């Protein structure tokens, strides 16, 4: 009976440690998606403007670079905010 209780306690500790790991990683998992969406939206908007004004690659290039710039800005800003929160918790 005691062995079963110990096994249950060990399993409970493992589950809690996995959930804690996921709680710490969750904010970082979204960063790649945010970066990709920002870059793609910039490129799509540039492509749409090029087709609308018949000015082939100019708007695509401009808004692609703008999307990359804004994506990385948001990426680093979010990381710095998460690190500040992490330091404040300790």
Sequence spans of domains, the chain = 2-89
3-class SS at 1?
Answer: coil
pLDDT in tens, 16-65: 677 777 777 888 888 999 999 999 999 999 999 999 999 989 999 999 99
Q: Determine the pLDDT at residue 34.
A: 92
Non-local (6+) Cβ contacts of 34 within 8 A are 71, 74, 75, 78
What is the radius of gyration, based on Cα positions, of the chain? 23
Q: Determine the pLDDT at residue 88.
A: 86
User: What confidence category does residue 85 fall into, taking pLDDT thresholds of 50, 70 and 90?
Assistant: confident
């Amino acid at each position: 009976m005691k062995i079963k209780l110990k096994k249950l306690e060990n399993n409970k500790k493992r589950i809690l440690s996995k959930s804690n790991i996921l709680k710490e990683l969750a904010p970082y998992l979204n960063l790649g998606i945010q970066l990709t969406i920002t870059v793609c939206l910039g490129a799509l908007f540039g492509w749409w403007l090029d087709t609308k004004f018949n000015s082939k690659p100019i708007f695509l290039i401009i808004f692609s670079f703008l999307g990359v710039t804004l994506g990385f800005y948001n990426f680093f800003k979010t990381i710095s905010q998460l690190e500040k929160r992490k330091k404040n918790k300790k």
